Structure 1
Amino acid sequence: MNGTDLLALLPEGWRRVPLKATCNFFVSNVDKHSFDDELPVRLCNYTDVYKNDRVSPDMELMAATATPQEIERFHLEVGDVVITKDSESWNDIAVPAYVEGTADDFVCGYHLAFIRPRKEVLDGRFLFRCLQSRPVALQLELEATGVTRYGLPKDSIGLAVLSLPPLPAQVRIANYLDGEIARIDGLIAEKERMLGLLEEKRAALISRVVTRGLDPNAPLKPSDQDWLGEVPAHWEVQPIKYLAVVGNGSTPSVENASYWSDDGYPWLNSSVVNEPLVIKASRFVTETALKECHLPKIQPPAVLVGITGQGRTRALSSLLGIEATINQHLAFIKPHCDALHPGYLCHWLGHAYAFLRSDSDGAGSTKGAITCEQLANMRIPVPPTGEQLEICAHIRKSLDVAEPLQSEIQNSLNLLMERRAALITAAVTGQIPLEELQP
């Protein structure tokens, strides 16, 4: 289909224009550091945009500093749209949020760009919905470059093509979507609340059995760790390094073609810890990379742990089910004796998630990162091997009961999310007649 055919698909009065013809756009370089010779600001950060459809100074924002020139250049105004510019995943690029409030010290932060529509031709809320639509989002995702971290070039923002109706129609479409999406979001929130309750129940079950075992009458003893409390008296409490090998990997240079292959040795990044069991890889490295980059060959069963970043993957863990190597944002824990079962260890690390996050947020060079040394020295309660297996079986049996309901709710949630995305795309591309749009 050529450009003329695409134009023919638009309703009368609509036109396709590059974003740069209707907007100004800026890439921020204001970081999270504070300096005495700069002015205090409230910083709109990556997570503020990624997790919210709308941003304003009324949110809980990071306190930072910026120069007067930076404040003038990157100050956010009502009607702007902020997008994520960098991410560990290409499909998290250009996630938008609409700016619905402003203040003199409200500033766009690093890893973000913001787009300011020219109000005589483009409504900010319509632009926000265009950026949420699949055609525009896909254009920007495809422009992102990188292997382990993706970035959106500034020029690519301006080249994204919008389907643009007259301004009154933009406002009508934006009003309609605000109402419809609010109703769908209410249903989504209810489904997410139900999934959250199920997850709380799951976490409570796992926490109870990996810290107290299956016998409610077992005598207890102090674990000598305030956050952990008491554990069964017959359990050992030992550093992980006495029971397992701990290490991490690296990322071979993407410029060296001899390091990468379509069918080489599986290489994993930190996104894999979002799954309970890792059984496939999306990238592969060569034997040359394994040798020259000193990448570990990890044999299953082992446990992988996310060790860097401010996102949820830091401190998440999963079981490794395939032979693989890993990047520097992951650590592996490979038990070297029968005294520690990988399944029990993975469940226990799930219980320790909040502690690991808090512990790695401390001051110093390790802020926002868990080191292999921290993991190796971490003292964990170790039941007898047979009891570890019983604990894993008990957890599996309980999850088998809960997972069908969880799956049903998740499927319903997925359908709502698909409906939401399809409605936005249909409205901003002219597939819904204006006379049918009732706010």
Structure 2
Amino acid sequence: MTRSRLAPWISASRWPTAPIRLVARLGSGHTPSRSKPEYWENCTVPWITLADVWQLRDGRTTVITDTKEKVSPLGLANSAAVKHPAGTVILSRTASVGFSAIMGQDMATSQDFATWTCGPKLEPRYLLHALRGMTPDLERVATGSTHKTIYMPDIEQLRVPLPPLEEQRRIADFLDAETARIDKLVALRDRQIRLAQEGRASSLNHTFKRETHSATRLKHLLATRPRYGVLVPQFVEGDGVRFIRVNDLLDLSGRANSLRRIPHTLSSQYARTITRPGDVLLSVVGTMGRSAIVPPELEGANIARAVASLRPATDVSAELVAAWLTTPDFIRQAVIATSSDTAQPTLGMEDLANFRLSWPSSPSAQRDLLHEVRAIQRHGNRLVRAFQAQSRLLAERRQALITAAVTGQFDVTTASGRNVTEGVTA
């Protein structure tokens, strides 16, 4: 990794830059052997793993104090894991790359994190902001086809602008205050997005449940029973069958060239879920109600176990089926059907086939309903896109504020970050 590849904006720093490892002790973590039960008894040491990254994804958490798992002193003593002191800065470097925080107490980490224990020339909060300024660059240079990784030799090359310690503290104070203010606006936008999505779903629900519609079950609208896909996928490079997972349903159009692939022989074992244009795909494990219609370019693909394939009958609109799957009426039935699950909610195909809904009783009524559904979706989507655009703008301006502050492009003692939110009102 060269300095030009990673965080090129650092070259504009008014202060000298230095490798972080020269002003902070670089470390990492490890996982004690799971085959030694005694290493996992009397666990008292907080242990940061990728299961804790959820706390850091929005960039608003500065200090991490709670962890999903703990390790024992015996496990630490018999592995490469170490207990780092409170104030150590962490950075996730595998799978979920670029998430950072400060340890709120003495803690250990898995091998998925790099750690820096700051020396007398580096303020931990300033380093945290600098690392967060590098997040897009870290994501860009991460390598790996399955799980993206920043390898330790590259971590060793990371540099940071190094103003005097008191200036670092002033910058950290400024960024703490100004990013918190931006984060409040982002949280407001997130809430508005949720409300717009809920309003869209509620309007669709009301439109479907008309007195003129007939009560039916989902299976009566389908050409075949719902099916779920490949239980244990095996991925291949190059020639293979395109494979659709739950996250792919968020934006299925235009994904033909970016989907993972599975062997043709494996796909043929699940021939009943090989896709056709117009099939409706639905997430049925964990997240419920995420749906998409298979576009023509994804004919012949296959689906994951967490995705169900619904093939509408010839006289049934796939758009209407997909729209109904986003309504509170569908979600309510899905919650009831999975309420006894002790682990991850999983919707059974027989339960799904017997879901009840109201449906137009004639082709002309179906066309009228489709017209109304499209109007509701257009209006709701416009609102969601507008709020999402403002969220992206706030994120970009937050990032620009951090990079400008840590490189000394303005004097934080006299500056205000308020101009970064011009045009974005509460």
Aligned to 1:222: none
Aligned-partner residue type, residue 253 of structure 1: F
The structure 2 residue matched to 1:259, chosen from 210, 226, 239, is 239
Aligned to 1:142: 141
Aligned to 2:156: 158
Aligned to 2:16: 14
Aligned-partner residue type, residue 196 of structure 2: L
Q: Which has the higher strand share?
A: 1
How do residues 176-325 of structure 1 correspond to structure 2 at under 5 angstroms?
Answer: 176-210=174-208, 213-215=209-211, 234-239=214-219, 243-249=224-230, 251-254=233-236, 257-259=237-239, 266-275=242-251, 278-283=253-258, 289-291=263-265, 293-294=267-268, 297-307=274-284, 315-324=289-298, 325=301
The question of whether the paired residues in 2 share the 8 Å contact of 1:42 and 1:57 is answered with no
- Per the alignment, do residues 41 and 9 of structure 1 end up closer, same or farther by CA in structure 2, a change over 3 Å counting? closer
| Residues 1:47 and 2:54 are matched in the alignment | yes
Aligned residue for 2:309, secondary structure, equals strand
The question of whether the paired residues in 1 share the 8 Å contact of 2:29 and 2:112 is answered with yes
Unaligned runs of 5+ residues in structure 1 are 219-231
Aligned-partner residue type, residue 167 of structure 1: L
* 1:206 Cα offset (Å): 2.7
Relative to structure 2, which stretch is displaced further, 396-405 or 374-383? 374-383
| Residues 1:328 and 2:304 are matched in the alignment | yes
CA distance in 1, matches of 2:62, 2:158: 23
Aligned residues: 393
* 1:235 Cα offset (Å): 0.9
* 1:420 Cα offset (Å): 0.8
Aligned to 1:66: 71
The question of whether the paired residues in 2 share the 8 Å contact of 1:195 and 1:409 is answered with yes
Identical pairs, percent: 17
- Per the alignment, do residues 8 and 199 of structure 1 end up closer, same or farther by CA in structure 2, a change over 3 Å counting? closer
CA distance in 2, matches of 1:357, 1:150: 34
CA distance in 2, matches of 1:31, 1:401: 54
* 1:353 Cα offset (Å): 4.5
CA distance in 1, matches of 2:315, 2:17: 68
The question of whether the paired residues in 2 share the 8 Å contact of 1:316 and 1:353 is answered with no
CA distance in 2, matches of 1:151, 1:326: 28
CA distance in 1, matches of 2:56, 2:229: 31
| Per-residue Cα deviation, 1:212-260 (whole angstroms, up to 9, x for no partner) | x133xx6xxxxxxxxxxxxx7x412355887444232475434xx4536
- Per the alignment, do residues 173 and 403 of structure 1 end up closer, same or farther by CA in structure 2, a change over 3 Å counting? same
The question of whether the paired residues in 2 share the 8 Å contact of 1:248 and 1:330 is answered with yes
Unaligned runs of 5+ residues in structure 2 are 418-426
- Per the alignment, do residues 78 and 335 of structure 1 end up closer, same or farther by CA in structure 2, a change over 3 Å counting? same
Aligned residue for 1:350, secondary structure, equals coil
- Per the alignment, do residues 253 and 335 of structure 1 end up closer, same or farther by CA in structure 2, a change over 3 Å counting? closer
CA distance in 2, matches of 1:15, 1:122: 12
CA distance in 1, matches of 2:168, 2:357: 60
| Residues 1:341 and 2:321 are matched in the alignment | no
CA distance in 2, matches of 1:247, 1:41: 41
- Per the alignment, do residues 65 and 120 of structure 1 end up closer, same or farther by CA in structure 2, a change over 3 Å counting? closer
CA distance in 2, matches of 1:118, 1:363: 46
CA distance in 2, matches of 1:251, 1:69: 37
CA distance in 1, matches of 2:267, 2:115: 40
- Per the alignment, do residues 201 and 169 of structure 1 end up closer, same or farther by CA in structure 2, a change over 3 Å counting? same
Aligned residue for 2:217, secondary structure, equals strand
Aligned to 1:221: none
| Per-residue Cα deviation, 1:156-215 (whole angstroms, up to 9, x for no partner) | 4334333333333322221111122122222222333322322221222233444xx133
Aligned residue for 2:56, secondary structure, equals helix
| Per-residue Cα deviation, 1:31-84 (whole angstroms, up to 9, x for no partner) | 99x99833367676121222452265777x64x553234578566754333444
Aligned residue for 2:28, secondary structure, equals strand
| Per-residue Cα deviation, 1:253-300 (whole angstroms, up to 9, x for no partner) | 34xx4536xxxx65444332223x6343342678x9334553754111
CA-based RMSD of the aligned residues comes to: 4.3
The question of whether the paired residues in 1 share the 8 Å contact of 2:228 and 2:303 is answered with no
CA distance in 1, matches of 2:123, 2:296: 50
The question of whether the paired residues in 1 share the 8 Å contact of 2:244 and 2:302 is answered with yes
Aligned to 1:401: 379
Relative to structure 2, which stretch is displaced further, 125-134 or 115-124? 115-124
| Per-residue Cα deviation, 1:64-112 (whole angstroms, up to 9, x for no partner) | 553234578566754333444444xxxx52122344x33x7x765x685
